Structure 1
Amino acid sequence: MKTSPASQQSGDTSAVNDYLDLDSLLSRDELDARELVRGFCDKRLRDVVPNWFEHGLPEQDARDLMLEFGKLGVLGMHLEGYGCPGLGAVSYGLACTELEAIDSGLRSMVSVQGSLAMSAIRKFGSEEQKQTWLPRMAAGEVLGCFGLTEPDSGSDPGSMRAVARRDRSDWVLNGTKMWITNGSIADIAVVWARTDDGVRGFLVPAGTPGLTAPHMRGKLSMRASITSELILDNVRLPASAQLPGARGLRGPLSCLGEARFGIVFGVLGAAREALRTAVDYAATRTQFGKPIGGFQLTQQKLVEMLLELQKATLLALHLGRLKESGRLRPEQLSVGKLNNVRAALEVCRTARTVLGANGIMQEYPVMRHMANLESVLTYEGTVEVHTLVIGQALTGQNAFR
């Protein structure tokens, strides 16, 4: 989309969408996938999300929404077979951008379903597990969650305390997981636990005796999504509940890589919305006799925000092409997660200053995006973790311990 200098001077925010004509790097199918998701989000979600953020997302609304996401085709959209669309990595990334342009919590719900729970079953499940769960999960009829993080085990999943022990042919699981998106509405939980044979994954259906998923209350971020604990108290499972293809931490960490990829693209949506809001506001808010967009310091803020958004978009597209060609390395993904979340958060913080006191009001999305991104900055690998991943790749030295 090309914008003339005259239209830019008049405060036309079309330039925010694609200032560098980056759409020319996308295929027709990718553009169509993005427009489909964008249209759904604008029509169905934009007006209701502020209320969900203020009051919390009701469980029934979450279930209904996931069914709609299933019909839209965004649940596991990058996975192959078993009812999944099998679209490219960039198409999936663009969908994440549009979801997070509305709210990070919505992108998180979709990401946990597809990139974590479904991805774990697709990669490591038996054929029977794949046939049983994946088609219904892709349709949104069955909801999943992913139980790895624990109260005392976040960045160091190797220190997890959840255990699974053999009892004849069964498994018995004990432990607590925290910060579980979709936890209390999930029909199936992918749970990781220590065994005598290393860390293994298990499929735990809702309603299994000993499994409870209480809501986590008091969140000041990601309020338009459901976050729970998973408490496992002598949860007995048959041998068929184990994911046969996963052994050790490589299993869950590879799933986290899928989720991180969605974040690399997703946060671009939050940044885009914040920038667009700031540009619109600067064109209409008058101080000292003219719109604040006419002052040099305001223009500097807007330009810096635009630069960060465009650079982050180019990085996301490049990583997407690497992923599609099978060449994306974990440390490259760490560059994307570290850079893009940090850039998006800075864009939102700067946009808040352009709006002044209005920047904290629900009428505008900026503070909501900013609060959500504080969570995104931490989950799927903190700033410190990704810094050390990149540092190890640069130096060959492991600085984690």
Structure 2
Amino acid sequence: LNGSKIFVTNGGVSGLNLIFAITNPSERGREYSVFIVESEREGLEKGAQEKLMGMRGNPVCPIILNDCRVPRENLLGEEGQGMKIALSTLDGGRIGIGAQALGIGQACLEASIKYAQERYQFGKRIAEFGAIQGFLADMATRIEAARLLIFRASQLRDQKKPHSRESAMAKLFASETAVEAARIGLQIHGGYGYTKAYPIERYYRDAKVCEIYEGTSEVQRIVIARSLMKK
């Protein structure tokens, strides 16, 4: 096997790696196969860990394969099933990232409520101001909507029913909700939100990647739109 992949999630600590490789370039749609490759196998090298803006607990790094010889028994599934295997994991992965984004959004809401009830300005808690109440109401409403989208996609997956569109919707809405909740939450915190004194700055940094990995928001919109055209 030869090639490289950048931004490998948990690549810095992985013991086993799933490598998608071209094994039959002449057969369109079945040219990819998946191999299980041990990190200590000769020919596999890991690059330096990336210095991330957020999600710093995730050791991301590139993986480089240079004439890495892998025995046939390390083939996952059958030869030519790589694309099928990859697509089968995407829907579940999008639900997972949606749930992650939901957790970040919920944390933003809880931190903002706590701060608004503790912070006094002009002789009263800022939670009593209409503008702050509006922020909190919008955050809570979007977060609850994201939760229900994730539950719906998860239910369909548990029932082994088609759920590509629903998982894309859940991931899209939840990730953009997390980013917006972090933005509003930081605004509620004011200048303190821009310091490390409160956790909202971390949520702000962590939320953004949810719009990027496991398919960007733009990709999710394409998936949703194409599914609508099939009707």
Contact 1:211–1:235 under 8 Å retained in 2:
yes
Q: What's the offset of the Cα at 1:205?
A: 0.7
Contact 1:202–1:242 under 8 Å retained in 2:
yes
| SS at 1:386 equivalent | helix
Report percent identity of matched pairs: 29
Q: Tell me if 1:256 matches 2:90.
A: yes
Q: What's the offset of the Cα at 1:176?
A: 0.5
Contact 1:319–1:328 under 8 Å retained in 2:
no
TM-score w.r.t. structure 1 length?
Answer: 0.54
Q: How many angstroms apart in 2 are the aligned matches of 1:362 and 1:256?
A: 35
| Deviating more after overlay: 180-189 vs 241-250 | 241-250
Structure 2 unaligned regions, length at least 5: 25-29
Name the residue aligned to 1:128. Answer: none
Of 203, 212, 217, which residue of structure 1 is paired with 2:45?
Answer: 212
AA partner of residue 242 (structure 1): L
Contact 2:92–2:167 under 8 Å retained in 1:
no
Query: Higher relative CO (CA 8 A, sep ≥ 6), structure 1 or 2?
Result: 2
Q: How many angstroms apart in 2 are the aligned matches of 1:233 and 1:219?
A: 26
Q: Tell me if 1:242 matches 2:70.
A: no
Q: What's the offset of the Cα at 1:248?
A: 4.0
Name the residue aligned to 2:21. Answer: 193
Q: Tell me if 1:333 matches 2:167.
A: yes
Report the RMSD for the aligned CA atoms in angstroms.
1.6
Of 228, 248, 273, which residue of structure 1 is paired with 2:61?
Answer: 228
Name the residue aligned to 1:278. Answer: 112
Q: Tell me if 1:357 matches 2:163.
A: no
Q: Tell me if 1:301 matches 2:129.
A: no
Trace 1:3-82 onto structure 2 (pairs within 5 A).
none
Q: Aligned pair in 2 of structure 1 residues 314, 359: CA closer, same or farther (>3 Å)?
A: same
Q: How many angstroms apart in 2 are the aligned matches of 1:264 and 1:182?
A: 18
Q: What's the offset of the Cα at 1:219?
A: 1.6
Q: How many angstroms apart in 2 are the aligned matches of 1:300 and 1:349?
A: 14
Q: How many angstroms apart in 1 are the aligned matches of 2:187 and 2:211?
A: 20
Name the residue aligned to 2:27. Answer: none
Name the residue aligned to 2:5. Answer: 177
Q: How many angstroms apart in 2 are the aligned matches of 1:215 and 1:187?
A: 16
Aligned length: 225
| Deviating more after overlay: 196-205 vs 296-305 | 196-205
| SS at 1:185 equivalent | coil
AA partner of residue 218 (structure 1): K
AA partner of residue 72 (structure 2): A
Q: How many angstroms apart in 2 are the aligned matches of 1:271 and 1:219?
A: 20
Q: How many angstroms apart in 2 are the aligned matches of 1:257 and 1:316?
A: 11
Name the residue aligned to 1:310. Answer: 144
Q: Tell me if 1:377 matches 2:205.
A: no
Contact 1:211–1:230 under 8 Å retained in 2:
yes
| SS at 2:76 equivalent | coil
| SS at 1:216 equivalent | coil
AA partner of residue 43 (structure 2): G
| SS at 1:327 equivalent | coil
Q: What's the offset of the Cα at 1:224?
A: 1.5
Output one character per residue of 1:194-249: Cα deviation in whole Å (capped at 9) or x when no partner: 11150110011121111111233332121121001100000011111111346142
Trace 1:57-206 onto structure 2 (pairs within 5 A).
173-196=1-24, 198-206=31-39
Q: How many angstroms apart in 2 are the aligned matches of 1:305 and 1:266?
A: 16
Q: What's the offset of the Cα at 1:341?
A: 0.8
AA partner of residue 226 (structure 2): Q
AA partner of residue 110 (structure 2): R
| SS at 1:220 equivalent | coil
Contact 1:273–1:365 under 8 Å retained in 2:
no
AA partner of residue 45 (structure 2): T
